[in-house]
Amino acid sequence: MISFGREELSLEKGKTNDWVLPNGIGGYASSTAIGMNTRKYHGLLIGADENLNRTLYLSKIEETLIIDGKEFPLSLNQYPDGVVHPEGHTYLERFDFSDIAKYVYNVNEVLVEKTILIVRGENTVVVNYKVLNAGGSEVKLLLRPLINIRDFHSNTKEEQEYAARKIGNGFFIGAPKPLFVISDICQYTEEPSTIYNMVYERELQRQTGELDNHFSPGYFIANPQKGEVNIIASTAEINFARVREKLAEEAQRKKRMIDNYYEKNSIPHDQFATALLLAADSFVIKKEGKSSILAGYHWFSEWTRDILISLPGIFLSTHRFEEAGEALLYLAGKMNKGALPNVIGSEEINADSPLWFINACYLYAIRTDDYELIEKKLWMKMREAFTSYLEGNECYEVDRLDALVRIKKEGATWMDARSSNGNAITPRVGKPVEINALWYNAVVAMAGLCEKLEKNEERKEYLELANKIRASFEKFYNPKKRSLYDVIEQYDDSTRPNQLLAVSLPFSPLDAAVSREVFAHVFKRLYTPVGLRSLSPSSPQYKEYYSGNQAERDLAYHNGTIWPYLLGAFLDAHTRVFRRNEAGAIELLEPFEENLKRYGIGTINEIFEAKTMRPDGCVSQAWTVAEILRIYTDIKKEGIHWV
Q: Same domain, yes or no, for 44 and 108?
A: yes
CA 408 – CA 428 distance, rounded (Å): 9
CA 615 – CA 591 distance, rounded (Å): 12
Q: Same domain, yes or no, for 208 and 320?
A: no
Q: Same domain, yes or no, for 340 and 475?
A: yes
Q: Same domain, yes or no, for 435 and 576?
A: yes
Q: How confident is the model at residue 478 (pLDDT cuts 50, 70, 90)?
A: very high
- What percent of the chain clears pLDDT 70, i.e. is strictly above it? 98
Q: Same domain, yes or no, for 294 and 223?
A: no
Q: What is the pTM of this model?
A: 0.96
Q: Same domain, yes or no, for 230 and 306?
A: no
Note whether residue 641 is domain-resident: no
pLDDT at 491 over 70: yes
CA 587 – CA 592 distance, rounded (Å): 10
CA dihedral angle for residue 588, residue 589, residue 590, residue 595, rounded to 10 degrees: 130
CA 445 – CA 503 distance, rounded (Å): 15
Which tens digit of pLDDT belongs to each residue from 312-337? 999 999 999 999 999 999 999 999 99
Q: Same domain, yes or no, for 213 and 300?
A: no
CA 169 – CA 183 distance, rounded (Å): 5
Note whether residue 261 is domain-resident: no
Which tens digit of pLDDT belongs to each residue from 15-40? 999 999 999 999 999 999 999 999 99
Note whether residue 345 is domain-resident: yes
Q: How confident is the model at residue 588 (pLDDT cuts 50, 70, 90)?
A: confident
The three-class DSSP label of residue 24 is coil
Note whether residue 245 is domain-resident: no
Q: At what angle do helices 456-472 and 433-453 cross, to 10 degrees?
A: 160
Q: What b/e readout covers 317-356, taking b as 16+ CB neighbours within 10 angstroms?
A: bbbbbebbbbbbbbbbebbeebbbbbbbeeeebbbbbbbb
CA 53 – CA 492 distance, rounded (Å): 39
Task: Indicate the average pLDDT of the chain.
Answer: 95
Domain edge (last residue) among 216, 238, 260? 238
Q: How confident is the model at residue 542 (pLDDT cuts 50, 70, 90)?
A: very high
Instruction: Specify burial of residue 262 (Cβ count, 10 A radius: 0-12, 13-18, 19+).
Output: middle
Q: Report the CATH number at residue 559.
A: 1.50.10.10
Residue 270, pLDDT score: 92
Q: How confident is the model at residue 643 (pLDDT cuts 50, 70, 90)?
A: very low
- Phi-psi domain of 54 (left: phi exceeds 0; alpha: psi -120 through 50; beta: other): beta
Q: How confident is the model at residue 382 (pLDDT cuts 50, 70, 90)?
A: very high
Task: Quote the DSSP letter at residue 610.
Answer: T
Mean pLDDT of 289-312: 98
Query: In sequence order, which residues have a C-beta less than 8 Å from that of residue 97 and are 6 or more positions away?
Result: 1, 2, 3, 19, 33, 601, 602
Q: Report the CATH number at residue 151.
A: 2.70.98
pLDDT at 261 over 80: yes
Q: Same domain, yes or no, for 210 and 358?
A: no
Which tens digit of pLDDT belongs to each residue from 120-159? 999 999 999 999 887 788 999 999 999 999 999 999 998 8
Q: Same domain, yes or no, for 233 and 183?
A: yes
Q: How confident is the model at residue 579 (pLDDT cuts 50, 70, 90)?
A: low
CA-wise closest residue to 147 among 58, 86, 242, 234: 58
Q: Same domain, yes or no, for 300 and 444?
A: yes
Which tens digit of pLDDT belongs to each residue from 388-407? 999 999 999 999 999 999 99
Note whether residue 73 is domain-resident: yes
Tally of domains within the chain? 2
DSSP string across 570-597: HHHHHHHHS---HHHHHHHHHHHHHHTT
Q: How confident is the model at residue 580 (pLDDT cuts 50, 70, 90)?
A: low
Which tens digit of pLDDT belongs to each residue from 163-190? 999 999 999 999 999 999 999 999 999 9
pLDDT at 220 over 70: yes
Which tens digit of pLDDT belongs to each residue from 437-453? 999 999 999 999 999 99
Domain edge (last residue) among 214, 238, 262? 238
Note whether residue 243 is domain-resident: no
Q: Same domain, yes or no, for 537 and 577?
A: yes
Q: Same domain, yes or no, for 388 and 503?
A: yes
Note whether residue 257 is domain-resident: no
Note whether residue 246 is domain-resident: no
pLDDT at 292 over 80: yes
Instruction: Specify burial of residue 256 (Cβ count, 10 A radius: 0-12, 13-18, 19+).
Output: exposed
Quote the domain boundaries for residue 139.
2-238
Instruction: Specify burial of residue 221 (Cβ count, 10 A radius: 0-12, 13-18, 19+).
Output: middle
